[in-house]
Amino acid sequence: MHYKKTGEKMIPASTWIGQRDLTGYTIVVTGANSGLGFITSCVFACLGANVHIGVRTKTKGDETIQQIVEYVNEHEPGRALDVQKRLFAHYVEMSDFASVRAFCQSFQQPIDILVNNAGLQANEKKTTKDGYEMTWQVNYLSSTFLTTKLLLPLLQQAGKDRGKRAKVINITSGMHKMVKDLDLEDINFDKKEYDHTEAYTKSKLAQILNVEYYTQVELPPSESPTSPLFYGIIPGPVKTNIYRQENGFEQPPWDGFADRPSPDEAAYPIFVCALEDYAAPGSLLAVPDGREDTKSDLAQDMDLAKSLWNYSIDATG
């Protein structure tokens, strides 16, 4: 498969450093304290952007800000003098709709790029305080649907102010192709035995359907000249901490883990979406070089996308 390090050459996201000037741009990255979210925040900071990171706690926020400062000092010292003033930590618990709303309300300025990266995979069934299966709420209902919906006015404002469309980038997975049926009536596994892979892959399918619905129905580019463009990213099986011990998994590294793309390599397509304009709206871009990937038939089912949209409106209130 094209994302394996034993195959084609991977391209690090850090190769974008020095290639663009994003001074004055506002970037929001969720799940930014590690993995893809961290390296994405670092590279944007090296490009001169104002970077707002979504993390779970103040401790995580303080630590991550300091680590980004250190990264910029090492990789782009010319941007280091003002980097501390361009970094902002926001606190959000994606398993809590109230927290997501407070997070989104903390923004007042137009947003140029939103990277919906926060996510997890729970090996055992957990239910959030809002009553939804944990993986489903964190990966889709909160960090994709509700976050985008609430920040949409600021994304649209950026398009009007800058004369250049804002962009929304959902970090999803090629594993969405494993889903054979998206049963929204039992998305919480109340009637059947919990399967962590099924829960994860369905959340990833939903993220792509969200891109499809915005692009095809809600805000088609041909009809909404200042509305944001929406994309999905397939980073491959990255060496990150999504497989956490507290979620029931064996702590990496395990067999095959070392051969996975690094976060720096896996983040490359994010910057193709963010910085280039050749990708068609609604595209699904993948490692190693931001090429367009294929979507499953379900991921292109607009009846399903509409049903999911209506379900999500009701679920998030």
263 cis-preceded (ω within 30 degrees of 0): no
Pure H helices in the chain: 35-46, 58-75, 97-105, 134-136, 147-162, 196-213, 263-266, 268-275, 302-316
Q: What is the Cα–Cα distance from 315 to 15, expressed in whole angstroms?
A: 41
The HSE-up count of residue 43 (CA atoms within 13 Å, CB side) is: 28
For the chain, list residues with pLDDT below 50. 1-3, 5-6, 247, 249, 253-255
The HSE-up count of residue 63 (CA atoms within 13 Å, CB side) is: 10
So what's the pLDDT on residue 277?
92
CB 196 within 8 A of CB 123: yes
So what's the pLDDT on residue 224?
82
So what's the pLDDT on residue 1?
41
Q: What is the Cα–Cα distance from 240 to 14, expressed in whole angstroms?
A: 17
Encoded amino acid at 165, one letter: R
Pure H helices in 137-278: 147-162, 196-213, 263-266, 268-275
So what's the pLDDT on residue 261?
75
Fold of the 92-236+263-316 domain? Rossmann fold (3.40.50)
So what's the pLDDT on residue 254?
44
So what's the pLDDT on residue 238?
58
